[in-house]
Amino acid sequence: MTFRERVYQITARIPKGKVATYGQIAKLAGSPQAARAVGMYMKINPFAPRVPCHRVVATDGKLTGFSAPGGIAKKKRMLMDEGVRFIGEKVDRSCFWDVS
């Protein structure tokens, strides 16, 4: 399985109401330094919505890049509709996916 395939497989497992970081996905996929590559794969995700790329955020909880129409505002609405809570413009840390 390629790194890209692992990234999409892991992203597909992020539960509703939770988010993961680009770095977390990279680490779980076996390349901890490849967070930017994960971001690129989310940008070109051909499997949405089965692979919920909107559930991937920056390490600090900030919403970054979302190529679907509506951009970041749409990403935030989608996450809120799934039960993700925000503190200001950042995802509440309690909504981060714990894969341990």
Which residue among 53, 56, 79, 84 is the active-site one? Answer: 53
Of 62, 83, 46, the residue nearest 11 (C-alpha): 46
> Active-site residue 53, yes or no?
yes
* Cα 45 to Cα 26: distance, rounded to the nearest angstrom: 15
Cα 60 to chain center, whole Å?
A: 12
Please give the positions annotated as active site. Answer: 53
